[in-house]
Amino acid sequence: MFPAIEPYARGWVENPERDSIYWETSGNPDGVPVLWLHGGPGSGLGSGGYRKRYDPDAFRLVGIDQRGCGRSTPSVVDALDRLPANTTEGLIADIELVRAELGIDRWVVTGGSWGSTLALAYALAHPERVTGIVLGAVTTTGRDEVDWLTETMGRVFPEAWEALERSSHRRPGERVIEAYARVLATGTLEERIAAADAWDDWEATHVSLDPNAVPGPLHTDPAQRLVFATLVTHYWANDGFLPGDRAILRRVEELAHIPAVLIHGRHDVSGPVITPWLLHRKWPASRLIVVESEGHGGPQSSELMAEAISGFAR
């Protein structure tokens, strides 16, 4: 890992839907361009801890707050009428707007958790813009992955899942994730806050098996909880807005020529290691690193990401 640094430039670009998309650049203005895609959806860039994974002398690092969250405006909770336009296709278009704004031709694409799904979707849409890929806590947001997270994992955490299901107020035939997405998009403010709190309790249950884990701002700030829950349930209820079952896995061979490193914790119950393992099997230029002692990310995974990213320096 590298010392904490601050951005040397930041700004906003406006997309056709009139969202203002926040971007920031750090490190060496003449370095190898590299993009970081945050998780969630809806986590935002946060306070910038992600920058420690990148050698500030070697890379020109770009971070983006995805539409509807972070410093991008409007916030999803202030503009729920825009939610139908908040899709993976839209996020990919926003990335391209930022790339063009910054005059970058090609870049290394990196991401974690949901950011790994978005990174893969972006690479499939614009392979000519991607020189390499480094991903942590790898997911592709397929229907089976979402159902594992929101239904089947109740077999691992039955007490917490019972509370999640009870608070969903789901209708007959409705999946738990669909119920939360509906309430968070159309409910009263009181109903939305209650749903966000219940969703956050479930997230806190499964995202870390470490009993000493310290909750971040997403779990302690009510406003951020509402943004996060609204966006993550919106995307998950729609299978990440990716067409067909296991859309990314079915097409990953199109990325066969792009070098990649996939880093994943063996004990990641949020996203079992089967997903990066299946990707790796169909991706000759990829390398899979399984961290035996960690779950959905962790200090060793972050160190390994930093090492893998440094491998793409000139």
- pLDDT (average), residues 188-212: 87
Active site residues: 113, 268, 296
Tell me the pLDDT tens digit for each residue of 84-111.
999 999 999 999 999 999 999 999 999 9
Render pLDDT for 169-193 as a digit per residue (tens, 0 to 9): 999 999 999 999 999 999 999 999 9
**Coil, strand or helix at 295:** strand
**For residue 213, is pLDDT > 90?**
no
Domains of the chain: 9-141+242-310 (3.40.50.1820), 144-240 (no CATH)
Give pLDDT, residue 193: 97
pLDDT on residue 208 = 62
- pLDDT value at position 244? 76
Neighbours of 123 (CB within 10 A): 22
| Predicted confidence (pLDDT) per residue in 10-27, tens digit | 999 999 999 999 999 999
The fraction of the chain above a pLDDT of 90, given in percent, is: 91
Any alpha helices (H) in the chain, and if so which ranges? 88-101, 114-125, 143-150, 158-168, 176-186, 189-206, 217-220, 222-237, 247-251, 274-281, 299-310
Asked if residue 195 lies in contact with residue 222, where contact means CB atoms within 8 angstroms, the answer is: no
What is d(CA 309, CA 111) in angstroms, rounded to the nearest whole number?
11
Question: Can you tell me the distance from the alpha carbon of 210 to that of 124, in angstroms, rounded to the nearest whole number?
Answer: 34
φ, ψ for residue 142, nearest 5 deg: -75, 165
**Separation between Cα atoms, residue 135 and residue 38, nearest integer Å:** 11
The predicted pLDDT at position 34 comes to 99
DSSP state of 184: H
- Mean pLDDT value across residues 114-125: 98
Say what the pLDDT of residue 215 is.
52
List the strands of the sheet with 107-112, edge to edge: 9-14, 20-27, 59-64, 32-37, 107-112, 130-136, 260-265, 286-291
In this predicted structure, the answer to whether residue 214 has a pLDDT above a threshold of 60 is: no
pLDDT in tens, 241-275: 998 778 999 999 999 999 999 999 999 999 999 99
Q: What percent of the chain has pLDDT over 70?
A: 96
- Beta pairing, strands 59-64 & 286-291: unpaired
- Answer for the pair 142, 239: CB distance below 8 angstroms, yes or no: yes
What average pLDDT does range 262-291 have in this prediction?
Answer: 96
Sorting pLDDT into bands at 50, 70 and 90, what band is 218? low
Q: Is 132 helix (H, G, I), strand (E, B) or coil?
A: strand
pLDDT of 59-88, one tens digit each?
999 999 999 999 999 999 999 999 999 999
Task: Give the pLDDT confidence score for residue 168 in this predicted structure.
Answer: 96
- What integer pLDDT is reported at residue 56 of this predicted model? 98
